[in-house]
Amino acid sequence: MKNSRKSSSLTCDLCAGRGVKIRYVTRSYGKGAKLLLIENAPVVSCPNCGESYVTAETLHELERIKTHRRSLAKKKNIPIASFPRSA
């Protein structure tokens, strides 16, 4: 996770604790030729209960991006590594 922002005015939707952080992460959807990476997706992270979640607004935007991926996504070549399987 990267680019965290803390806001003491925000409260956790799950435990109502204060001091949640907004973290900006890269989310992946699909695999192989249908893989889509969405960068800088905001995720709410609570230091009190330990939960992380996306808001309804963020979820709607993620779905919009996935639906319109052909017009919104840019193709990039990225290295991909696989975790080794146990024998």
How crowded is the C-beta side of 38, counted as CA atoms within 13 Å?
A: 21
Q: Which CATH class is domain 2-72?
A: alpha beta
Mark the ranges of the chain whose per-residue pLDDT is less than 70: 1-8, 87
Overall pTM surpassing 0.85 (yes/no): no
Nearest-angstrom CA–CA distance, 29 and 38: 8
- Supply the pLDDT for residue 2: 41
Phi, psi of 39 (to 5 degrees): -90, 155
